[in-house]
Amino acid sequence: MSEGIKRRDFLKVLGVSGAGAGLVGCSTDQVEKLIPYVTPPEEITPGVATWYSTVCGECPAACGVWVRTREGRAVKVEGNPHHPVSGGALCARGHASLQGLYNPDRLEGPVRRGEDGEFQPIAWDEAEALLSQHVQDAGSDFVFVTRKEGPALAGLIESVVESVGGSRVEYEALSEAPLREATRMAFGQDAVPTFRFEEADLIFSFGADFLETWLSPVEHARGFARSTGIDEAHEKARFVFLSPRLSLTGQNADEWVPLTAGSEGVVALAIAHALVQRGADGGPYSDLIEAYDAQAAANEAGIPAETIEELADAFQAASAPLAVGPGVAGQGANATATNLAVLILNAVAGSVGSTLHVTRSDLAAPATPYRELADVISRMAEGQVPAMVLHNVNPAYSLPPESGFRQALGQVGFSVAITPHLDETAALCDLVLPDAHTLESWGDSNPRPELWALRQPVMQPVPHFDSRSAGDVLVRLAGRLGEDLGAETFHDYLRNRWSDLHAELGSPGGSFDAFWREALRVGVVEVDAAPAQATAMQTPDRALTFDAPELEGDGMALVVYPSSRFGDGRGANKPWLQELPDPVTKLAWHSWVEIHPETAEELGVRRGDMVRVASPHGELEVPVYTYPGIRADTVAIAMGEGHENYGRYANGNGVNPMVLLPATVEEPSGTLAHLSVRVNLEPTGRRYSMASIEGSDQQYDRPIAPAVQLEELREGNIEEAGGYPTRQELQAIGGFVPITTEAEPQDFPLEGARYGDYEDSGSTPRWAMAIDLDKCTGCSACVTACQSENNVAFVGKDQLAMGRALQWIRLERYYEQIDSSQPGPVDIRFLPMLCQHCGNAPCEPVCPVYAAYHTPDGLNAQVYNRCVGTRYCANNCPYKVRVFNWYRFSEVPEPLNWQYNPDVTVRTEGIMEKCSFCVQRIRKSENQATLEGRTIGSNEVVPACQQSCPAEAIVFGNIRDPESRVYQVSNNDRTYRVLDVLINTQPAINYLRKVTFHPVESIHV
Amino acid sequence: MKKPWYIAMVAALAALGSLAFLQGQTVDEDVDTSDAAQVNIGPEGQPIAFPHNRHAGDLQLDCQFCHFSAERSSSAGIPPVATCMGCHTFVAGTERQEEVAKLRGFWERGEAIPWNRIYKVSDHVSFPHMRHVSAGLECQECHGPVEEIGVIQEVQQPLTMGWCLNCHIEQGATRDCTACHY
Amino acid sequence: MATVTEKTRAEQTHPDVRSHGEVNADIMRMLSPPGTWWWVLFGLSIAGIGLLAFSWGNQLVRGIGLSGLNTPVGWGAYITTFVFWVGIAHSGTLISAILFLFRARWRQSIYRAAEAMTVFAVMTAGLFPLIHLGRAWHAYWLFPYPNERMLWPNFRSPLVWDVFAVTTYFTVSSLFFLMGLIPDIAAARDSAEKGTLRQKFYSLASVGWRGTDRQWHHFGKAYLYMAALATPLVLSVHSVVSWDFAMGIVPGWHATIFAPYFVAGAIFSGVAMVITILVPIRKVFGLQKYLTTRHFDAMAKLCLVTGIIVFYAYLNEFFMAWYSGEDPERRVFWNRLWGHYWWATWIMLICNGLIPVLLWFKRVRHSIAALFTISIFINIGMWFERFVIIVTSLSHEFMPFAWGVYRPTITEMGIVIGTFGWFFFWLLLFIRLLPPVAISELKEVLPPPMRPKQKTEASR
Amino acid sequence: MSADRGVSASGAREGVLASFEYLDAAVDAIKRLRGEGFEEITAFSGYPEHHIEEALGYRASPVRLFTLIGGLTGAATGLAFTVFTSMDWPLVTGGKPILSIPAYVIPMFELTILFGAFATVFGVFYNIRLPSLKGDVVYDPKYSSEGYGVYVTAPANRITSARSILEEHGPASLQDDPQGDSHG
């Protein structure tokens, strides 16, 4: 069927060690090669997946993951259920790490800048010799810049740098330094607190995007969903978001306090003040708190004073309140102070020790903030840095140009970049060493004191690229520098460190080899958690100003926030992430500036108009996205896009907001202040064709994503509260009578259809799904998970702008209540829309060739190879979940195609496709069950979306079995089926209504 | 009067009908036969002239001795060179020892043997070997009398959908499309 | 037998036609070697076919993505034009079959051209189901033929009904057309000079027709039965086409009124197209004798009636949408009038609802120029009607979040325009090679030659 | 009418072909001939002239039977085919029954028309013995444009009386046909 990548091409690569690699993608007319192993790796069976546990390297949260490999190739990344951070879930960026591994823009080998200024290939040994030579010569002036790495690699770097007496700078564009500094000041601990969202019953977020980028999103999302999701006892935590802009996290809030940018600190203190007035203990900060009364804070924040009082009442009333923030976007010149203020609020409310824990931190040395890099830059500029290594960092992109990094790098005698692929920084270096991808290299992580995890290579290095892991390079470098590490490879070095750790931990699990193997198998080692310490606050060791910072320039405050898809921009060259519609704006492949509709009106611009955004430090042109979730006096731009030299999928997409920012150092934490300028917008008169999947953000009273107020739910009258009256029709005799529908999703097929294969289909499973909209956070991880599992192609900006996105899951987002003018309830409904596998599927009878039909086990099947492409089914699908292959989107450059899942057909042009309920997983489980001589279990099959969902909102199984989880979850007052009351499609997907605290105006359809 | 012309007319119609039917009986071009029946490599096609009749026939080796994963995986598995060397380290072969020499060459060079694939269904078909093995199907049902053939160079069966279906219907196995197509 | 009485000229459909022989002479003159204008038009239509071939070929190679279609709007210009041509195809059989059964005396001189138009229009329409397929090379899977894979088409699908309806319609209307041609081809054979290629061709095509009593007898009966078969067929075909939409649950499609609504629309557009084509033919060949104002008057009246039905259907749709109380239904129609595609809707309403009102006036109906202009407006309006029904409905369905906009592309326009070249290519060939006016049937409505009075006592 | 109709006398046969300018003349001539017992008459005209058919006393044409049988065959085929294919590989679509008869009515209907039409065409050709490129039929090309022809055959001994009857009605031309077996 597919002329492009054939599933069985994977067999060809069986012996990657051997000749196989070159043969991938050879076209079908040739006789296909079968490449067996020379010696078989015992754990690999062709056609059967092998799983390896490792650590995700996409962000510092370091989730534990399992990687599924087939015939020696990684094809899917999934959360490691044993790992407390990921808890079995994974975010979109984690899934997309595969496209980093197989990225066609990875360096094919080490390159050195020649006389002509162009990069020339160079042999590895030569390159390493060159490196050690320069490091040697540089001696104490040698600088090693790295990002936050695992303990082992960090330690190795440390010792290498020390061996020549040089200096090491650890740089993270998204720095939690202010939080860390505030914690140090408040509790005398150089640590990042852990936040237990799961245990909170009231959550205040002062702009912390803890569901997207802040610290450990997946872990937070799980806890958040568990606490704010309604439970059997009809209890749910409440979430208030205090920030000038609603991030995705904010969109999940029950209430929004749209305060002015930077005023989070004073508001937090004012709430604390109000609490103290209500009898709480201000502790050492009592005097400080005294200074901040509600009215003053309210004035500064541009909100009514009552709001602060109400918030204080709520916070006091709550049994386990929790306040977090601010996020990176809120890091102004007073970032540390604001963090401190929020910690004070927690302390005053007594949350410390319950929902917020400050523990002794064994983390590798903290990411030193921008200040130290700034010093290095000045030294570089003065030519005092003869040699430096930049490992997996991209300051040339992620720092404001004003920092002068680019120019300074030019003054460095010999600059070396160790990175898997060329980026803006590497492009300026003299020598570039291709680093192995994290999925190809060894390493470890220690995200929490009590948590250790190993990173192991899940496959042979991708043969297209002659890469070496930084660890190995550094071990050899140390050797050349005369440092004796007692290790030939980084693997040995890691083992040594871990054997020390093993001894340190008192030799758990007997011999070290056993311990090591177990660590590799399970993927995580949990040691006795260090007791939570220092819940008592100390007096601050220095004075701080909590007031909102004075923003430079005039016009509207500019919020620069980390993208939930690209973080600081390192994910930008992964098509899946580019193609993933931003959870908030539903735009893909480009940048935008978010401005309030009223502001847009004043400016005389519409959504999609190009505007020139000018700050005192720079300007850029970007299309307007009118967003009701942002204050009228604020605009926001996401980081991550606007790359110039980062690969074919990133270059030229959108803009990099850093050009608008000054290189201001925040004191005392020394991080880069993101919130520091005001900007002016000026229409250019040009239009921009935005790549959006959003048709309308309104439900028009249709039975799509209803909600119910908590009180109503408790009283059990769900129909009145946003429910739908039973449909009635007028009949000749008897007047209005209810329309009869088969009520239960397990009723399939109709009696009349029980023939042939369908005779006993009353007893076969009917696969069904339940999605709890009260849990779904709209994070869109399921979208990418599905894309990765089901070989869903990406289409690119132009095609997506035409409305040809191929993703099988569309995360719909509807606005019910959203008002940026004053504090109040916010109600935004998320609806993961995928094929509903209707019992009465409108798409099936219209297909002329039976390409769409219903299987006896209740799947709405799409037979790709039978499809002729009339698109009638898509027209007739009321949910619009069928997508069409307009071109041969599946033909992607080598080796991206190595990621394709061998269990799923790769679709070629002219074919309709859609969610299959991961039928390949169902069949696999059936085959397994048959081999074991049993029937398939009701909860046995876990589709990719459910597996990935950090909020645990999705449940899949056989709904005919009353014991199945899907049946039990669906058996709920809140259960409804989208559009069912309107068109009686009898979907197999049961949604559970969102629950709100405020009244929901009834929807009558 | 002049009857022949309309007799001819009827005959022509009949001819057309039967033509359509015969066309139906033959394999359609959309069944990706380029991967299936049509594969026919030359006499020197396989890198090593491996005599199935010698191993599976004379020596009575069990198919799954070499195709090790047939009973537990959807793919039957191609024996690693090590498996061959298990015997051929000692057995130099009776006739055509040069072929065994080739094998040893591969082994010494640590190279994989680039066998040419003969049996292959289209890419939109998933064929779980284990289901068929566990159902007690003989390998020969699909692969023909391998134990009598020397160097396998062409498939013995059409490997087309109709051919699969006939067996599925006879055996009372499922006819559901998504059993094979997904 | 009673003597055949003389008619006064006023009562006759063709007052200016004096004798039977004159008819043959005039019609045969049309088959004489073509003039430059014909070659110009012929060249244009060849160019059109070239455009069609290029655009379609390009689309086959590069992918259906060259069209502007997207996820909410899976059907667009292609299906629109398909329905347009199928509609055009309806007037022919209507005029030849239904009016034949109704014994409408004015059909004789126009039905041949109308029928030819029908056949060619179906040939054109038949291209689009192929063109719009994602995998056109698998189109034959829609036909029920015994195959190795033991697969059959899904007879529940309106598209399979379509395959049956359209192929049947093409076959039957072609048979009807060719059968009616035989006596006239014989006439052409008799008038062509011996030994020429034309004469050979005609004598072959006339299958030895002699015009004997027996031949006329069975022929007339057969023609009647064919008409009786074609009448329900012509009504069924566009009903089936309408069910392609009405069977869907798409708001704006799912309506019981669709079958009659579409049939009326089809006849409306078909008759308009007949006028559009006959006016120039009449002018060029000087057929004023045969195509009198009374013919055009009758066609105009037919237009008027069907136009009124169509316009009623429009209003009815809007009313039902409002009356249903369903938001999806209501919003679709609101969106038609005021939404993204408002211009298409208003073109449709003006061309099909407003302009035909002029046909109430006899002066308009008797002005060939006015009729010609109006008929062209109607053709445009009817194309947009289908566009509105298909595109506006699909772009505004149940899930607001999935609403989308469709813009036709160059490729689509090229193919749509190209098919006009294809259509006129056949039409031009036809009027040059075969008698475009039915000679024998025309004579049926002419007064037969009678003996001068003084001789009549011979019959007692 | 055709030679196989009516009593054909023994012995050699001759024929006469008369061309008439006027319809009523031709019609009267035919009536007279039939009155005199001449049954083997072929009339030529350029268009279907019901006066002539009346004069020759035609009854209903058997073509309608072809149409009827064809139509019924079509309907039966349509039903059998749709039902058979649905049962041959039962697949449920849209929760509808395997046998969705209402949907099958449409293919049935179309096949009814199709088969009916084919049968009709076959029927007419069969009944008028066409196509035939037999050249020896007595025929005058001008009939297809104007005028009428009356061709009568009779045993040699009676042919003169036939010729005289024709002459009485003032034919435009008159020509003898020695074969006398040239009925179309």
DSSP A483: -
Average pLDDT over chain C, rounded to whole? 88
* Pairing mode of beta strands A678-687, A202-205: unpaired
Instruction: Band the pLDDT of A1002: cuts 50, 70, 90.
Output: low
Q: d(Cα A88, Cα A714) in Å, to the nearest integer?
A: 32
DSSP D44: E
Query: Contact, C87 vs C238, CB < 8 A?
Result: yes
CB-based contact D122 B1, cutoff 8 Å: no
Q: d(Cα A621, Cα A342) in Å, to the nearest integer?
A: 36
Q: Is A627 left (phi over 0), alpha (psi -120 to 50) or beta?
A: beta
pLDDT exceeds cutoff 90 at A39: no
DSSP A245: B
pLDDT exceeds cutoff 70 at D181: no
Instruction: Band the pLDDT of A752: cuts 50, 70, 90.
Output: low
pLDDT exceeds cutoff 60 at B36: no
Element (H, E) at A853: strand A852-854
For residues C214, C220, C221, C224, the Cα torsion angle rounded to the nearest 10 degrees is: 170
Closest Cα in chain C to B26? C148
Mean pLDDT is highest, among A317-326, A498-507, A535-544, for: A317-326
CB-based contact A850 D93, cutoff 8 Å: yes
Average pLDDT over chain B, rounded to whole? 78
Other Cβ atoms within 10 Å of C430 Cβ, number: 19
C-alpha torsion sign, points B43, B45, B50, B56 = negative
| Structure-token pair, residue A382 | 């003065």
CB-based contact B21 C150, cutoff 8 Å: no
Q: d(Cα A825, Cα A816) in Å, to the nearest integer?
A: 10
The per-residue pLDDT for range B20-32, each reduced to its tens digit, is 555 444 444 444 4
Instruction: Band the pLDDT of A919: cuts 50, 70, 90.
Output: very high
Instruction: Band the pLDDT of C262: cuts 50, 70, 90.
Output: very high
Task: Fill in the amino acid letter for B65.
Answer: F
The per-residue pLDDT for range C88-106, each reduced to its tens digit, is 998 888 888 888 888 877 8
Instruction: Band the pLDDT of C3: cuts 50, 70, 90.
Output: very low
Q: d(Cα A601, Cα A940) in Å, to the nearest integer?
A: 54
The per-residue pLDDT for range A158-191, each reduced to its tens digit, is 999 999 999 999 888 888 889 988 988 888 888 8
C-alpha torsion sign, points A121, A126, A127, A130 = negative
Query: Contact, A248 vs A92, CB < 8 A?
Result: no
Q: Which residues pair with D175 in a beta bridge?
A: D17
Q: Which residues pair with A634 in a beta bridge?
A: A557
Q: d(Cα A802, Cα A796) in Å, to the nearest integer?
A: 10
Q: d(Cα C128, Cα C107) in Å, to the nearest integer?
A: 30
> What pLDDT score was predicted for residue D125?
86
With H, G, I as helix, E, B as strand and everything else as coil, classify residue D41: strand
Instruction: Band the pLDDT of B112: cuts 50, 70, 90.
Output: confident
Instruction: Band the pLDDT of C292: cuts 50, 70, 90.
Output: confident
pLDDT exceeds cutoff 70 at A353: yes
Chain A residue numbers with beta carbons less than 8 Å from the beta carbon of C394 are 875
pLDDT exceeds cutoff 70 at A620: yes
> What pLDDT score was predicted for residue A745?
63
CB-based contact C1 D100, cutoff 8 Å: no
- List residues of chain D with CB under 8 Å from any CB of chain A: 87, 89-100
- Mean pLDDT across A67-83: 91
Query: Contact, C401 vs A695, CB < 8 A?
Result: yes
Please give the C-alpha separations between residue A81 and each of A522, A786, A937, in angstroms, as whole numbers: 9, 18, 20
> What pLDDT score was predicted for residue A986?
86
**Relative orientation angle of helices D159-168 and D23-35, to the nearest 10 degrees:** 150
Touching subunits for chain C (3+ Cβ pairs under 8 A)? A, B, D
Of how many residues is chain D composed?
Answer: 184
Instruction: Band the pLDDT of A677: cuts 50, 70, 90.
Output: very high
Cβ–Cβ contact B94 with C under 8 A: no
For residues C428, C429, C430, C431, the Cα torsion angle rounded to the nearest 10 degrees is: 50
- Mean pLDDT across A704-709: 91
Please give the C-alpha separations between residue B52 and each of A33, B90, B144, C144, in angstroms, as whole numbers: 19, 19, 12, 43
> What pLDDT score was predicted for residue A15?
33
Instruction: Please report which residue ranges of A192-254 form alpha helices under DSSP H.
Output: 217-228, 248-251
CB-based contact C191 D141, cutoff 8 Å: yes
The per-residue pLDDT for range C405-454, each reduced to its tens digit, is 999 999 999 999 999 999 999 999 998 888 888 888 888 878 788 777 65
| Structure-token pair, residue B33 | 């036969």
DSSP B79: P
> What pLDDT score was predicted for residue B13?
66
Instruction: Band the pLDDT of A271: cuts 50, 70, 90.
Output: very high
The per-residue pLDDT for range D11-40, each reduced to its tens digit, is 577 788 888 888 888 888 888 888 888 888
pLDDT exceeds cutoff 60 at C253: yes
Q: d(Cα A234, Cα A239) in Å, to the nearest integer?
A: 16
- Mean pLDDT across A963-967: 93
- Mean pLDDT across A338-343: 93
Query: Contact, A77 vs A189, CB < 8 A?
Result: no
* Pairing mode of beta strands A255-257, A73-79: unpaired
Query: Contact, A258 vs A822, CB < 8 A?
Result: yes
> What percent of chain A lies above the pLDDT cut of 90?
67
Specify the residue for token string 């600088």: A143
Closest approach of D142 to chain B, Cα-based (Å): 27
For residues A785, A786, A790, A792, the Cα torsion angle rounded to the nearest 10 degrees is: -100
Q: d(Cα B52, Cα C90) in Å, to the nearest integer?
A: 68
Q: d(Cα A271, Cα A310) in Å, to the nearest integer?
A: 9
Chain A residue numbers with beta carbons less than 8 Å from the beta carbon of D97 are 750, 752-753
Average pLDDT over chain A, rounded to whole? 88
Please give the C-alpha separations between residue A991 and each of A60, A230, A424, A832, in angstroms, as whole numbers: 34, 14, 45, 10
pLDDT exceeds cutoff 50 at A541: yes
CB-based contact D126 B6, cutoff 8 Å: yes
Give the ipTM of the model, two decimals please. 0.89
> What pLDDT score was predicted for residue A533?
61
The per-residue pLDDT for range C6-61, each reduced to its tens digit, is 455 556 677 777 778 778 878 888 877 777 888 999 999 999 999 999 999 999 99
With H, G, I as helix, E, B as strand and everything else as coil, classify residue A418: strand
Other Cβ atoms within 10 Å of A511 Cβ, number: 10
Burial of C137-170, coded b for 16+ CB within 10 Å and e otherwise, reads ebbebbebeebbbebbbbbbbbbbbbbbbbebbb
Closest approach of D87 to chain C, Cα-based (Å): 10
How many cross-chain Cβ pairs, B to D, lie less than 8 Å apart?
11
My answer on whether omega of the bond before A668 falls inside 30° of 0, hence cis, is yes
Please give the C-alpha separations between residue A705 and each of A29, A247, A975, A1003, in angstroms, as whole numbers: 50, 20, 11, 10
* Pairing mode of beta strands A634-638, A556-561: parallel
Please give the C-alpha separations between residue A467 and each of A421, A429, A463, A667, C385, in angstroms, as whole numbers: 10, 17, 9, 40, 62
Chain C residue numbers with beta carbons less than 8 Å from the beta carbon of B24 are 145-148
Chain A residue numbers with beta carbons less than 8 Å from the beta carbon of D96 are 750, 752-753, 845
Find, among A76, A96, A240, the residue nearest to A947 by Cα: A76
> What pLDDT score was predicted for residue C36?
84
The per-residue pLDDT for range A970-1001, each reduced to its tens digit, is 988 888 889 887 888 889 999 999 999 998 87
For residues D130, D136, D140, D141, the Cα torsion angle rounded to the nearest 10 degrees is: 60
CA atoms within 13 A on the CB side of A882: 32
My answer on whether omega of the bond before A749 falls inside 30° of 0, hence cis, is yes
Find, among D81, D83, D85, D87, the residue nearest to D101 by Cα: D83
With H, G, I as helix, E, B as strand and everything else as coil, classify residue A567: strand
Query: Contact, A746 vs A766, CB < 8 A?
Result: yes
> What pLDDT score was predicted for residue C443?
82
Q: d(Cα B2, Cα A987) in Å, to the nearest integer?
A: 66
From the list C3, C221, C229, which residue is nearest D61 (CB)? C221
The per-residue pLDDT for range A427-474, each reduced to its tens digit, is 999 999 999 999 999 999 988 878 899 999 999 899 999 999 999 999
Other Cβ atoms within 10 Å of A655 Cβ, number: 20
Cβ–Cβ contact C400 with D under 8 A: no
CA angle C439, C441, C446 (to 5 degrees): 90
| Structure-token pair, residue A66 | 């399992």
**pTM for the structure as a whole:** 0.91
Other Cβ atoms within 10 Å of D169 Cβ, number: 24
The per-residue pLDDT for range C63-96, each reduced to its tens digit, is 999 999 999 999 999 999 999 999 999 888 888 8
Query: CB neighbours of C88 closer than 8 A, spacing ≥ 6?
Result: C117, C118, C121, C125, C266, C269, C270, C273
Find, among A165, A170, A155, A169, the residue nearest to A482 by Cα: A165
Of residues A203 and A746, the one with the higher pLDDT is A203
* Pairing mode of beta strands A707-709, A767-772: unpaired
Distance spanning both ends of chain C, measured CA to CA: 8
CA angle B29, B33, B39 (to 5 degrees): 140
> What pLDDT score was predicted for residue A529?
61
> What pLDDT score was predicted for residue A9?
36
DSSP characters over A906-928: PP-TT-EE---SSHHHHHHHHHH
Q: d(Cα C341, Cα C407) in Å, to the nearest integer?
A: 10
Other Cβ atoms within 10 Å of C332 Cβ, number: 24
C-alpha torsion sign, points A297, A303, A304, A307 = negative
